[in-house]
Amino acid sequence: MRTSFFKGLTSLPTVECAADGLEADVTVMSMTMYSVHDNNVVAAINILDSECSTSGVYSACVVSSQDKKRTKLVSIVPEAVKDEVAVYGCNLTVFRQGKGHIVSWSTSVRLPMKGSSEDVMVMCMALYYVDKEILSSVNIVEKYGT
C-alpha cells in the first residue's frame, strides 16, 4: 500500500493498493481495499473479469490489461475529525505454485481537521503475509507541513 496526495494537495490524501511489488510467479486474482475501523469495503476488483466496485468514498480501479500486477485500487481519504487516524487494509487473493493465498497490507493516515493549518502525518505499516506467516514489515512515518 502507498499513500500520497491527490494532485499534490495535502488536504486530499490518497491510499493505494497495488500488487506491483509481488514476486514474478504470483498471479493476482482479486483486490479488496477496506476501512479497518468498520470493515467496510471501499473498493474491490475481480482482475480476471475486470469487474470493479466502489462505495461511499471517491475511489478508482485502475486496470492494466498488459500486466495484471500493475492493476491498483486508489481511494481519497475522507475528511477526518482532528487527530483521527484513518486505517485502511488491502487483501489480495493470489495463486502461487498452484496454491491459493491471501496477501494483506495496512496503512494509517492521521489528518488535521478541515481548514486547519496543522501538519498531515502519514504512518504506514506495510505487513506482507501469506498463510499466517509474516514475510516482511516496514514502518514509515512522514510529516508534511501545510
Q: What is the pLDDT of residue 69?
A: 76
Using CA atoms, how far residue 106 sits from 29, 31, 97, in Å, is: 19, 13, 25
pLDDT of 32 higher than 90: yes
Which helix or strand (DSSP H or E) is residue 26 part of?
strand 26-35
Which of 73 and 21 is assigned the larger pLDDT? 73
Q: In this structure, which CATH number among 2.60.40.10, 3.90.1420.10, 3.40.50.740, 3.30.420.40 belongs to the domain 14-112?
A: 2.60.40.10
Whether this model's pTM surpasses 0.75: no
The percentage of residues in the chain with a pLDDT greater than 70, rounded to a whole number, is 71
pLDDT tens figures, 37-95:
888 899 999 988 888 888 877 888 888 777 777 888 988 887 655 567 788 999 999 98
Q: Which of 5, 77, 69 is nearest to 31 (CA)?
A: 69
Residues of the chain with pLDDT > 90, as a percent, come to 11
Average pLDDT over residues 6-34: 84
Compute CA distances 101 → 94, 95, 109, 133, whole Å: 5, 6, 27, 11
pLDDT of 20 above 70: yes
At residue 126, the pLDDT reads 43
pLDDT tens per residue across span 92-128: 999 888 888 888 888 887 665 455 444 544 444 444 4
